[in-house]
């Protein structure tokens, strides 16, 4: 077994390793550290998230830096502010027994003058996001013309995020003789372009997909109908009372909405996405690290690389567009040798994506059923009993006991237990008592869609009705653009757009029908609901279904959902609607529509 002391690291770094409690090097560390210490060569290292890449480049970098010189010698580029801060903190821990090593983080959204001042004091190592780095170079606030080492961390993600040009520009400001170390979880084409263009015969190491980090994660999927995603999410949380999780959504809007709904329903949740201010993001991350937030709802970009140990579950509220992104998501759990579960909520049409991911990660998914209300009640009861059993007795109550005993004098032990448990549990039970089965399969989904105004076809071309038209300022071209942009579809994906006076029709391939319908569920433009339904009149452009659709105003369906599916017991079974939104028509929405988000 290789030990850290076998890798060629100085004693001061070994001392830091011991303080960190790392017992033995991970595979990528074992492979990369000796190469980087001994050679002045370039390196491409491919390893999954959670495999310890930061230390793999961090220790050699610190050892190689000349701490007597204040010149910037090492540059680490990383995709997000959170990662920059995380790497900077790690490097500070690694170098705690080295004198005079300064590591400075540079990232957008914070004062550039402060960062420039820190650089000016002498930073041998700069950790930067590409955007801010480029900015500072062009303003002459940082000098990287003398660096010896350049690390590209999470290279695939930086390129994913569109930093290709920035990285090229930054690298062109660095000396040719430097060594470049590229770390990435995956090797898409753009990463190999960077490697080819900017690196000189790099050594390559690959850490197998089935190493410590990845293989400790169990992958599960749950098949639900598109609009049951949210109640299903709640059930997954309720079945795991100690959950500490990252919930991934596809868009910032969904992220914000899911987090808001969870908070309203009494969960310890928070949102993390790019539309929040840096300050808000810091607050959320701090609460998450302290476990005050149990469910961090995040976009892929915002959560990328975030290193919080002990995450028990990753929940894919929606699958990512790119298969590779799934790897990054599930890598948020099962870190540092712990086990974790990655859960995916899928609709029937997404099952094929599961198969594609299985091929990619070389691991099988387990099909699980969304727990029933009864299951959840049972789990919660046991949790409650254990909680009572394990509660530490507060000595302060001693003096109050006589009075309490007097009140409870006539209640025997068995009855007392029943009462204590009921006090906590009845509210919960009321929510889940009549909850329906959320697992979709067979005919059930069809039924629901039927209620919604049209069966969802699974193949061929699908025609839709949308409640906007010329009087809303659209023509067929602008409407097509609007739909494409909103649903994030490709250029050719929306066709046969037929724009009428107050409503329109369009077609897409059936493969994207779920995506269309879920995007346009509870979807508002300028405060007004824009609804899309599968047209009952597949070929034509005449009025659909008797033209009874008029609309949009009215209640927000999730109150109904809450009543049906329960929360953390804070609410009563409310069926109320808070009127709102629709200026479109004075009439109430038809009762059965859009009773769920998503």
Point out which residues bind Mg ion (CB under 5 A): 53, 305
* Pairing between β-strand 461-466 and β-strand 532-534 as defined by DSSP bridges: antiparallel
Cβ proximity to Mg ion: between 333 and 531 the closer is 333
Span of 50-58, 157-165, 248-256, 350-358 interacting with ligand ADP by CB under 6 A: 50-58
Among 53, 219, 281, 313, binds ligand ADP (CB under 6 A): 53
In the complex, minimum distance from the CB of residue 553 to ligand ADP, in angstroms, rounded to a whole number: 48
* Direct distance between the N- and C-terminal alpha carbons of the chain, in angstroms, rounded to an integer: 50
Span of 48-56, 95-103, 411-419, 460-468 interacting with ligand ADP by CB under 6 A: 48-56
Residue with tokens 């839709």: 464
Span of 49-57, 238-246, 292-300, 399-407 interacting with ligand ADP by CB under 6 A: 49-57
Q: Is 234 in the site for ligand ADP (CB under 6 A)?
A: no
Among 135, 166, 265, 307, binds ligand ADP (CB under 6 A): 307
Span of 20-28, 290-298, 347-355, 486-494 interacting with ligand ADP by CB under 6 A: 20-28
Residue with tokens 């400075």: 104
Distance CA 389, CA 411 (A): 19
What CA dihedral angle connects 174, 176, 179 and 180, to 10 degrees?
60
Span of 18-26, 344-352, 397-405, 506-514 interacting with ligand ADP by CB under 6 A: 18-26
Please report, as residue ranges, which positions from 321 to 380 form the binding site for ligand ADP (by CB under 6 A): 335-336
Size of the site for ligand ADP (CB under 6 A): 16
Cβ count within 10 A of residue 45: 25
Phi first, then psi: what are they for 461, rounded to 5°?
-100, 140
Cβ proximity to ligand ADP: between 25 and 551 the closer is 25
Cβ proximity to ligand ADP: between 55 and 62 the closer is 55
In the complex, minimum distance from the CB of residue 305 to ligand ADP, in angstroms, rounded to a whole number: 6
With a CB cutoff of 8 Å and minimum separation 6, the contacts of 5 are: 14
Phi first, then psi: what are they for 353, rounded to 5°?
-65, -35
Q: Is 82 in the site for ligand ADP (CB under 6 A)?
A: no
Task: Identify the burial level of 397 via C-beta atoms within 10 angstroms of its C-beta, where 0-12 means exposed, 13-18 middle and 19 or more buried.
Answer: exposed
Span of 53-61, 310-318, 384-392, 486-494 interacting with ligand ADP by CB under 6 A: 53-61
> What is residue 548's three-state secondary structure?
coil
Cβ proximity to Mg ion: between 335 and 484 the closer is 335
In the complex, minimum distance from the CB of residue 61 to Mg ion, in angstroms, rounded to a whole number: 14
Q: Is 54 in the site for ligand ADP (CB under 6 A)?
A: yes
> What is residue 33's three-state secondary structure?
helix
In the complex, minimum distance from the CB of residue 307 to Mg ion, in angstroms, rounded to a whole number: 7
Distance CA 313, CA 47 (A): 21
In the complex, minimum distance from the CB of residue 328 to ligand ADP, in angstroms, rounded to a whole number: 9
From residue 249 to residue 288, the character string flagging contacts with ligand ADP as x (rule: CB under 6 A) and all else as - is: ----------------------------------------
Residue with tokens 């599960």: 220
Q: Name the nearest CA neighbour of 130 among 77, 169, 87.
A: 77
Helices assigned H by DSSP within 410-475: 413-432, 444-452
In the complex, minimum distance from the CB of residue 52 to Mg ion, in angstroms, rounded to a whole number: 8
Q: Is 531 in the site for ligand ADP (CB under 6 A)?
A: no
Cβ proximity to Mg ion: between 31 and 53 the closer is 53
The site partner of 336 among ligand ADP, Mg ion, none (C-beta below 5 to 8 Å per kind) is ligand ADP
Distance CA 535, CA 543 (A): 9
The site partner of 202 among ligand ADP, Mg ion, none (C-beta below 5 to 8 Å per kind) is none
In the complex, minimum distance from the CB of residue 154 to ligand ADP, in angstroms, rounded to a whole number: 8
CB 32 within 8 A of CB 43: yes
Cβ proximity to ligand ADP: between 18 and 138 the closer is 18
Span of 52-60, 267-275, 296-304, 558-566 interacting with ligand ADP by CB under 6 A: 52-60
What is the three-state SS of 375-428?
A: HHHHHHHHHHHHHHHHCCCCHHHHHHHHHHHHHCCCCCHHHHHHHHHHHHHHHH
Q: Is 51 in the site for ligand ADP (CB under 6 A)?
A: yes
Token pair, residue 220, equals 């599960």
Q: Is 309 in the site for ligand ADP (CB under 6 A)?
A: yes
Among 16, 36, 49, 294, binds ligand ADP (CB under 6 A): 49
Among 7, 16, 26, 354, binds ligand ADP (CB under 6 A): 26
Cβ proximity to ligand ADP: between 130 and 305 the closer is 305
The site partner of 228 among Mg ion, ligand ADP, none (C-beta below 5 to 8 Å per kind) is none
In the complex, minimum distance from the CB of residue 151 to ligand ADP, in angstroms, rounded to a whole number: 11
Distance CA 181, CA 60 (A): 11
In the complex, minimum distance from the CB of residue 550 to Mg ion, in angstroms, rounded to a whole number: 53
Cβ proximity to ligand ADP: between 3 and 117 the closer is 3
Q: How far is CA 193 from CA 190, 492, 563, 578, in A?
A: 5, 29, 54, 54
The site partner of 50 among Mg ion, ligand ADP, none (C-beta below 5 to 8 Å per kind) is ligand ADP
Cβ count within 10 A of residue 416: 11
In the complex, minimum distance from the CB of residue 454 to ligand ADP, in angstroms, rounded to a whole number: 45
Four-residue CA torsion sign, 229, 234, 238, 241? positive
Q: Is 22 in the site for ligand ADP (CB under 6 A)?
A: yes
Phi first, then psi: what are they for 186, rounded to 5°?
-135, 170
Distance CA 497, CA 565 (A): 38
With a CB cutoff of 8 Å and minimum separation 6, the contacts of 57 are: 32, 36, 45, 76, 151, 153, 181, 183
| DSSP of 177-196 | TSEEEEEES---HHHHHHHH
Residues at the contact surface with ligand ADP, assessed by CB under 6 A:
22, 25-26, 29, 47, 49-55, 307, 309, 335-336
């Amino acid at each position: 077994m290789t030990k850290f002391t076998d890798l060629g690291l100085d004693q001061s770094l070994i001392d830091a390793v011991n303080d960190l409690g790392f017992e033995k090097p991970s595979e990528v560390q074992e492979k990369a550290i000796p190469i980087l210490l001994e050679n002045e060569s370039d390196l491409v290292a491919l390893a999954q998230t959670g495999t310890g890449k930061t230390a793999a480049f961090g220790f050699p970098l610190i050892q190689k830096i000349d701490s007597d010189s204040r010149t910037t010698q090492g540059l680490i580029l990383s995709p997000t502010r959170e990662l920059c801060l995380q790497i900077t903190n790690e490097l500070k821990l690694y170098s705690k027994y080295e004198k005079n090593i300064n590591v400075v983080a540079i990232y957008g959204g914070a004062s550039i003058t402060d960062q420039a001042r820190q650089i000016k004091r002498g930073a041998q190592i700069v950790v930067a996001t590409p955007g801010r780095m480029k900015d500072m170079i062009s303003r002459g606030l940082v000098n990287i013309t003398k660096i010896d080492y350049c690390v590209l961390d999470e290279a695939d993600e930086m390129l994913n995020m569109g930093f290709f040009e920035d990285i090229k520009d930054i690298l062109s400001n660095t000396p040719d003789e430097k060594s470049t170390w590229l770390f990435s979880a995956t090797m898409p084409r753009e990463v190999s372009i960077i490697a080819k263009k900017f690196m000189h015969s790099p050594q390559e190491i690959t850490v197998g997909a089935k190493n410590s980090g990845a293989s400790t994660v169990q992958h599960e999927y749950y098949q639900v109908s598109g609009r049951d995603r949210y109640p299903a999410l709640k059930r997954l949380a309720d079945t795991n009372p100690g959950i500490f999780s990252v919930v991934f959504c596809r868009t910032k809007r969904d992220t914000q909405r899911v987090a808001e709904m969870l908070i309203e329903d009494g969960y310890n949740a928070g949102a993390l996405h790019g539309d929040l201010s840096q300050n808000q993001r810091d607050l959320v991350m701090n609460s998450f690290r302290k476990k005050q937030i149990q469910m961090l709802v995040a976009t892929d970009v915002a959560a990328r690389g975030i290193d919080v140990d002990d995450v028990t579950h990753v929940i894919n509220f929606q699958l990512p567009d790119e298969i590779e992104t799934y790897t990054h998501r599930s890598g948020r759990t099962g870190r540092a040798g712990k086990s974790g579960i990655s859960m995916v909520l899928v609709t029937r049409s997404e099952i094929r994506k599961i198969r594609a991911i299985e091929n990619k990660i070389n691991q099988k998914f387990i099909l699980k059923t969304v727990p029933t209300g009864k299951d959840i009640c049972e789990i919660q009861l046991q949790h409650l009993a254990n909680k009572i059993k394990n509660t530490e007795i507060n000595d302060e109550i001693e003096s109050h006991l006589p009075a309490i005993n007097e009140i409870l004098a006539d209640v025997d032990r068995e009855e007392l237990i029943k009462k204590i448990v009921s006090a906590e549990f009845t509210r919960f039970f009321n929510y889940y008592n009549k909850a329906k089965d959320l697992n979709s399969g067979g005919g059930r989904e069809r039924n629901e869609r039927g209620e919604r105004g049209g069966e969802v076809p699974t193949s061929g071309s699908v025609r839709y009705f949308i409640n906007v038209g010329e009087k809303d300022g659209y023509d067929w071209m602008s409407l097509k653009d609007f739909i494409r942009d909103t649903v994030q579809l490709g250029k050719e994906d929306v066709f046969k757009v037929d724009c009428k006076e107050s409503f329109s029709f369009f077609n897409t391939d059936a493969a994207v029908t779920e995506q269309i319908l879920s995007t346009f569920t509870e979807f508002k433009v300028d405060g007004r609901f824009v609804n899309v339904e599968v047209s009952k009149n597949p070929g034509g452009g005449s009025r659909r279904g008797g033209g009874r659709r008029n609309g949009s105003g009215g209640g927000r369906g999730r109150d109904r959902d809450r009543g049906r599916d329960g929360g953390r017991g804070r609410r009563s079974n409310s069926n109320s609607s808070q009127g709102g939104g629709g200026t479109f028509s004075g009439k109430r929405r038809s009762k059965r529509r859009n009773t769920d988000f998503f």
